[in-house]
């Protein structure tokens, strides 16, 4: 099976930076090339694959792709600090590895430029980064993945760990404000102003749990745990404790047959619900990486492998001689006011397109695959 996955990855690596095969959302909308978290998912996954295999093809592809966007002066095609979007920070984390491997100054310049966004990024009254300028006062679980791993790595490598407390506090705020006490799951979004149409006027919370946002959240925690200096025991322990607690809560909603998870995980039998690839891949990655980093006991290894193999059995297929990864929710979000359809209801999460080969599923799937290779070799 793993040889099939290797061939699938090779197919994706025929992509061009301006029109990558995996960015289905950009293709559908005819978007111009820009620095974005969707491509970032793929770049992170391929860099992880390079680290796991030492195969230079993966590094060469990532560098060529990234060099299309990062200029010699450190500016980045399509990136604008003034948008104050957590999404646009995400891909920048790959530049740490590229700089370490090549010592090309443009990568370091770009890292510093994007860090400037963190210094002035708007925050909620509780101290968390707004998800985006166009989503004021809002925290989405997605945004923890988009911003915090980059923020943590910068603090560890370039800022003497000065802002670790801020990073941990943002996770603690999410735990306090967005965790459901009955299920242990976290709601997709929180509106600090409690005025958005999708938000509960008392709690500020959105209506449902969305699998991929839970996946983003678990990956954010284990990646932050990895990037934190091991000498900072209290900070790392806080993240590790929250991580294990979240994984254990999510596992309660695992499908017994496929070992995957549903798009809205706590309603597995509700009409229209389906086993979803991107969130399941993220959870498999987080569990396997958690075992490797000793943030989870070794007995979780088989749980992670079961999820990954379940995805392969359920959604990895061959059509007309080409490999395809299906079951991927194309996109989901909350608002803004101009888009009342995105109201966080169960019906909304079922209404978004389900696609094949989009990087929001493929990237986490490859990330999980790298952990499979590491943990089984």
Per the structure block, which two tokens stand in for 128?
A: 């968390």
Walk along the chain (377 residues) and give the pLDDT tens digit of each residue.
788 899 889 989 999 999 898 988 888 888 888 999 999 999 999 999 999 999 999 999 999 999 999 999 999 999 999 999 999 999 999 999 999 999 999 999 999 999 999 999 999 999 999 999 999 999 999 999 999 999 999 999 999 999 999 999 999 999 999 999 999 999 999 999 999 999 999 999 999 999 999 999 999 999 999 999 999 999 999 999 999 999 999 999 999 999 999 999 999 999 999 999 999 999 999 999 999 999 999 999 999 999 999 999 999 998 777 789 999 999 999 999 999 999 999 999 999 999 999 999 999 999 999 999 999 87
Asked if residue 18 lies in contact with residue 68, where contact means CB atoms within 8 angstroms, the answer is yes
Task: Reduce the DSSP state of residue 227 to 3 states and report it.
Answer: helix
Say how far apart CA 43 and CA 21 lie, in whole Å: 13
What is the pLDDT, as a whole number, of residue 318? 82
The crossing angle, in degrees rounded to 10, of helices 37-53 and 56-67 is: 150
Q: Which of 187, 166, 167, 161 is CA-nearest to residue 176?
A: 187
Instruction: Please count the residues of the chain.
Output: 377
Per the structure block, which two tokens stand in for 42?
A: 């793929």
Sequence-separated (6 or more) residues with CB below 8 Å from residue 2 = 369, 372, 373
What is the pLDDT, as a whole number, of residue 34? 92
Kindly report the number of other CB atoms within 10 A of residue 302's CB atom. Answer: 11
Say how far apart CA 244 and CA 242 lie, in whole Å: 6
The crossing angle, in degrees rounded to 10, of helices 211-227 and 277-292 is: 20
Which of left, alpha, beta for 259 (phi over 0: left; psi -120 to 50: alpha)?
left
Q: What is the CA radius of gyration of the chain?
A: 19
Largest Cα span, the chain: 54
First to last CA, the chain: 15
Asked if residue 245 lies in contact with residue 181, where contact means CB atoms within 8 angstroms, the answer is no
Say how far apart CA 32 and CA 19 lie, in whole Å: 9
Exposed/middle/buried for residue 19 (C-beta within 10 Å: 0-12, 13-18, 19+):
exposed
What is the pLDDT, as a whole number, of residue 319? 78
Asked if residue 117 lies in contact with residue 90, where contact means CB atoms within 8 angstroms, the answer is no
Per the structure block, which two tokens stand in for 197?
A: 């149409």
Q: Can you name the residues that pair with 317 across neighbouring β-strands?
A: 324
| List of long-range contacts for 196-204, beta carbons under 8 Å, 24+ apart | 196/138, 196/334, 196/335, 196/337, 197/335, 197/337, 197/340, 197/343, 198/334, 198/335, 198/342, 198/343, 198/344, 204/177
Residue with tokens 């089984």: 376
Say how far apart CA 342 and CA 24 lie, in whole Å: 20
Q: What are the sequence ranges of the domains in the chain?
A: 2-376
Architecture of domain 2-376: Alpha/alpha barrel (1.50)
């Amino acid at each position: 099976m793993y040889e099939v996955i290797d061939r699938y990855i090779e197919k994706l690596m025929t992509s061009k930076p301006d029109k990558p095969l995996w960015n289905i959302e950009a293709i559908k909308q005819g978007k111009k090339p820009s620095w974005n978290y969707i491509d970032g998912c793929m770049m992170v996954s391929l860099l992880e694959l390079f680290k796991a295999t030492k195969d230079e093809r993966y590094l060469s592809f990532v560098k060529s792709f990234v060099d299309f966007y990062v200029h010699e002066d450190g500016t980045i095609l399509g990136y604008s600090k003034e948008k104050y979007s957590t999404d646009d920070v995400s891909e920048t984390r790959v530049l740490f590895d590229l700089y370490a491997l090549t010592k090309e100054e443009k990568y370091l310049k770009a890292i510093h430029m994007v860090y400037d966004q963190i210094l002035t990024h708007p925050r909620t009254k509780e101290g968390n980064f707004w998800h985006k300028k166009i989503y004021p006062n809002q925290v989405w679980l997605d945004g923890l993945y988009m911003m915090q791993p980059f923020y943590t790595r910068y603090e560890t490598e370039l800022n003497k760990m000065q802002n670790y407390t801020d990073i941990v506090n943002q996770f603690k705020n999410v735990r306090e404000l967005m965790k459901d006490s009955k299920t242990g799951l976290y709601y997709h979004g929180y509106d600090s102003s409690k005025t958005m149409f999708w938000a509960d006027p008392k709690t500020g919370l959105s209506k449902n749990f969305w699998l991929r946002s839970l996946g983003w959240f678990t990956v954010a925690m284990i990646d932050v745990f990895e990037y934190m200096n091991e000498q900072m025991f209290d900070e790392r322990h806080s993240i590790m404790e929250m991580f294990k607690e979240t994984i254990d809560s999510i596992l309660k909603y695992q499908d017994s047959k496929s070992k995957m998870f549903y798009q809205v995980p706590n309603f597995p039998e509700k009409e229209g619900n389906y086993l979803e690839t991107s969130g399941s891949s993220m959870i498999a990655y987080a569990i396997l990486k958690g075992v490797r980093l000793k943030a989870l006991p070794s007995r979780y290894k088989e749980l992670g492998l079961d999820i990954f193999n379940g995805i392969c059995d359920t959604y990895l297929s061959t059509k007309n001689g080409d490999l395809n990864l299906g079951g991927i929710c194309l996109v989901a979000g909350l608002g803004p006011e101009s888009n009342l359809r995105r109201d966080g209801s169960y019906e909304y999460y079922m209404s978004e397109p389900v696609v094949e080969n989009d990087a929001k599923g493929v990237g986490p799937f490859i990330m999980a695959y790298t952990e499979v290779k590491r943990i089984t070799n």
